[in-house]
Chains A and B, each alone.
Chain A
């Protein structure tokens, strides 16, 4: 497979995962803001932006609202939903012949839905956000059931789960910094915040099944970071990422894949053998920063190995 094709499939998938994540986080936060009352508006907007890894926090509440609005529809905002969907479609267009027609049509539909809804007020965006999540899920389902699960599909998997690992790490880390104060008993409002975090990871129901509705930050951390089979846990994502990378290495069939497999294997092991009490004692923040750093290394190694490798190293192989 051409390197450019692998790269495009990978980015298509990353962008789409990010669009879905952004839509869900914004929707959950909008719900929460209704509960929180108007007094804390400014802090709310800043928190929302940070949860998505967007910095440059806005100064006052009006500005905050407009900057979240930008996260929906502004194509000049790098992390906005519309930018992500456009990025996904643009990458898909470059490899139009490599993906199934059904995939292309669904992505096109999503793209047109996003374009047609611009200018909508953020408080009326609920349906829009829902359609993004649904559209992205549909695309993933179509991809899994209409595309050969060969090398290209593995690049899609790798992109999806790398992006998910990154998004979850940022979200969880920001949340714990803001709301986890072990010295103080949890207030009524914080309870809602923790539910919000779980909802942002589609994890509320799954968490309740495991631990009942009793909200305990340590358990939440364990569930979201280390759960082996919940698809929006960091560990699950890292394992899926590693599996995809191994498959790519096998399909590409050369020794050159070893560095990227080593790095992704280390990431998986870090999570697979992690203990939540140790992690909390050492600082969840520090731990998640380590995960983020490793994600960056996996991305860099993949790019070096499969896409932008120097001519000389490839000739030796």
Chain B
């Protein structure tokens, strides 16, 4: 599906802006600029490319000085990189946002009920709505969580669901991230930078604020504290400086004014968790953990983990400390379970899903597998347990060898793979090589769930900076841009 010829008739700096089958965020199918992009479009027409380049440099420098980097795994050299940030905002209307917001809230409520059910009575499994095998064969299922009471029944405290726009312009959910979603610091930092670079445009557009994210997160975490403590101690648990998201951990801890701790700073004693301070041990009530389940407690999970806190799980089970997110949430963002989310929403809430799913084929199901293997070049194949764009085959962009390789892998372990039709993500204007060009984008809003569901308007828009690429992950050559939700 190569891009069809450009219908572009726009003046510079838009002369290299191509339109094709994919939904374009800025221009409609006739090539005319959509109303909510008019302000940006006019502003760009009035700015010489040198000025745009200068602003791009200011933005890049600002990211560099703040040390906003991420780590790419699996390569030896140059593993630490500056996160590329595109200069132009991605704009969403308030009507569109309203639909996204309601859809995400519905989805998170349902998934949360699903987790509670799966780890308690298993009604949904008994009723045959979700097959048992899918749940029990998931590598993120934690049998230790069976029957454990989670405070306020809030399993998913922070979720980051990836949305994409289909060629028809409809937002659909591509996947959910319910374990330790990251990237929210890029959203906050890039907004800071954008406000400095385009102050007038920002005012003219009337953009909804996102700066209160840290306070919302803090009050969400506070709601999880064990009762009886007016001033609960909340900490952010990081794997340490070598983790790819360390910048974000430090950033959020500072924004919330809570301690950034590593596993070695915490001790568990008599089912309570304490942090070591120079003034002695201080009790910890809520842990916003940015460590995977496996590494949280070497006594309960992976015993070779040096990152966690021995005995933490017992304290958690005793209800003396809360974890956000709860352990075992990965069973609900498994890519095979994803196919059942619409059914899960109907089952628990009795409502139709507001946000649709992408059509998904389970490779563990023989007829579906045979169908997909017949035309592998049309599909995107994903390993269910992977994230970050690793372990993925993009059919139309793959070689015969790669397809053969995936065919073998799928046949060897069908439960581990799903396939989805290749969807052309929508495209948005980006400033690249001195011109405005269209690149594919997705959207990751961050959903907080404690006493109530809160979502700051916007999220992280990720961009596939390589021309024609559909992979937006930062580890695979992706970047980010600011997301403006208009009021």
Contacts and interface: CB of A to CB of B under 8 A. Distances in A.
Q: Select the residue from B254, B262, B276, B278 with max chain A CB neighbours within 10 A.
A: B278
B265 interface: yes
Contacts of B269: 311, 315
Contacts of A252: 277-280
Interface in A243-270: 248, 251-254, 256
A97 B253 contact: yes
Contacts, number: 57
B459 to A, nearest CB: 25
B471 interface: no
A229 interface: no
A2 interface: yes
Interface string A55-69: 000000000000000
B254 A97 contact: yes
A311 B254 contact: no
B275 interface: yes
A6 interface: yes
A3 interface: yes
B264 A4 contact: yes
Nearest to A256: B280
Nearest to A105: B65
A97 B265 contact: no
A244 to B, nearest CB: 13
Contacts of A314: 274, 276, 280-281
B265 A3 contact: yes
A254 B261 CA distance: 22
A307 B260 CA distance: 16
B260 A1 contact: no
Nearest to A93: B241
Interface residues of B, number: 22
Contacts of B281: 311, 314-315
A3 B253 contact: no
A115 interface: no
Interface residues of A, number: 23
A248 B260 CA distance: 21
A6 B277 CA distance: 9
A306 interface: yes
A317 B265 contact: no
A97 B252 CA distance: 11
B9 to A, nearest CB: 48
B262 to A, nearest CB: 7
Contacts of A4: 262, 264-265, 276
B210 to A, nearest CB: 22
A3 B260 contact: no
Contact of A94 (B241, B267, B277, B279): B241
A317 B253 contact: no
A311 B241 CA distance: 26
B90 to A, nearest CB: 30
Given A94-B241, A97-B260, A1 B278 contact: yes
Contacts of B241: 93-94, 96
24 contacts: A2-B261, A2-B275, A2-B276, A2-B277, A2-B278, A3-B265, A3-B276, A4-B262, A4-B264, A4-B276, A94-B240, A96-B250, A97-B250, A151-B278, A248-B278, A252-B280, A254-B280, A306-B278, A307-B276, A311-B269, A314-B276, A314-B280, A315-B269, A317-B280
